[in-house]
Amino acid sequence: MDFSWERPSSALGRLVEGDGYRFQFHLRPGRSGWLDRGSPPEAVLGARREVLAGAWDRAVIWGAGADECWRGLESILGDGLRQAAEDGGTEPVERAVRVAAEWAPDFLLLRREGEEYRLAGGVVCFPSGWDPVEKLGQTVTEIHGAVPGLNEALAERIRRFLSGLRPGQVFERENWGLAATGELDLHPALGRPRLGLGTTDVWFRLEEQAFIGLEGGESLLFLIHVRTWPLHEVIKATGAGDGFERMFRTMPAEVAAYKGLTAWLAGRGDA
């Protein structure tokens, strides 16, 4: 995969298709290249390295089972990232951090526990308004419990999918949101600006996500590749202005509150 920061694609319009807002899984077989270094802009790698140098304690999470998961991941990395791991030292967490400084996506390591998967570790430099430290050790269902209505809509489907993912299989999907800044790192501790009543500088935040089964079948990798563009550029590129309006109009109030959109949406309705 080429991790270049190209302009928004017209294909993003599919994210706002349908007659109203709802949680969508939209999985499809993954593209090749997720485990290679790709070609992220130096500014993005610089931002990742800045987080890792100054905020290790909030970006790097490493718990029970993470070492074993990492070994399964490292064995399938492309040559460039495998060399980065070797340059990182002897401890799995050190090797993971070295790779995270050269790789565009954030990554989470999940370990099977019965019918569930539990978050064992990972490196998250660019969270979308959540604190990775708080999620360490939680199951996927517990992690999603913070999102109103998501478990009710998709928990069983997600559980079946993750349990059926085989070593080497790759699937991907997208998730999107809105923000008041194009900054990639939206960790809550930073106090980034939020969308509010009358905000006009609105950014579209895309998360390209991939699920990859790891060796042994007891762990998997979850990748999150974040990019941002001004919302008006995405609407222009997709021609999906009506679709976005439909999503905004039909978004449940509790979901809007969770996403921090309540005041902004109310302002649009009053305009």
Per-residue confidence band for 270, with pLDDT thresholds at 50, 70 and 90? low
| Residue type at 128 in one-letter notation | S
DSSP string, 51-108: HHHH-HHHHEEE-TTHHHHHHHHHTTS-HHHHHHHHHH-SSHHHHHHHHHTT-SSEEE
Average pLDDT over residues 234-258: 94
Query: What's the rounded Cα separation, in Å, for the pair 31 and 245?
Result: 30
Residue 13 CB neighbours (<10 A): 18
User: Is the model's pLDDT at 100 over the cut of 80?
Assistant: yes
Q: Which residues pair with 219 in a beta bridge?
A: 111
Residue 203 and residue 174 in contact, taking contact as beta carbons nearer than 8 Å: no
Give percent of the chain with pLDDT exceeding 90. Answer: 77
| pLDDT greater at residue 3 or residue 44 | 44
> 263: which DSSP letter?
H
Average pLDDT over residues 116-128: 97
Q: What confidence score (pLDDT) does residue 157 get? A: 87
Q: What confidence score (pLDDT) does residue 3 get? A: 46
| pLDDT greater at residue 186 or residue 146 | 186
Least confident piece of the model among 104-118, 141-155, 229-243: 141-155
Domain ranges, ordered by start, for the chain: 10-270
Q: What confidence score (pLDDT) does residue 4 get? A: 46
Q: What confidence score (pLDDT) does residue 24 get? A: 84
Residue 231's SS3 state is helix
Element (H, E) at 269: helix 262-270
Element (H, E) at 117: strand 116-123
Q: Which residues pair with 221 in a beta bridge?
A: 109, 212
Least confident piece of the model among 85-94, 110-119, 138-147, 260-269: 260-269
User: Is the model's pLDDT at 27 over the cut of 50?
Assistant: yes
From residue 125, give the alpha-carbon distance in Å to each of 54, 73, 105, 135, 171.
11, 19, 9, 15, 22
From residue 149, give the alpha-carbon distance in Å to each of 22, 140, 242, 243, 248.
9, 14, 24, 21, 17
First to last CA, the chain: 42
Ordered strands of the 219-230 beta sheet: 28-29, 170-179, 203-213, 219-230, 106-113, 116-123, 60-62
Q: What confidence score (pLDDT) does residue 1 get? A: 42
Residue 241 CB neighbours (<10 A): 14
> CA 194: distance to chain centroid?
19
Q: What confidence score (pLDDT) does residue 269 get? A: 63
User: Is the model's pLDDT at 198 over the cut of 90?
Assistant: no
What b-and-e string marks burial along 22-49, b requiring 16 or more CB atoms within 10 Å of the CB? ebeeeeeebeeebbbbbebeeebbebbe
Residue 235 and residue 244 in contact, taking contact as beta carbons nearer than 8 Å: yes
Average pLDDT, the chain: 92
User: Is the model's pLDDT at 261 over the cut of 80?
Assistant: yes
- Side-chain half-sphere CA neighbours of 106 within 13 A: 24
User: Is the model's pLDDT at 184 over the cut of 50?
Assistant: yes
Q: For residue range 40-97, list pLDDT tens digits in order.
A: 889 899 999 999 999 999 999 999 999 999 999 999 999 999 999 999 999 999 999 9
Q: What confidence score (pLDDT) does residue 271 get? A: 46
**pTM for the model:** 0.94
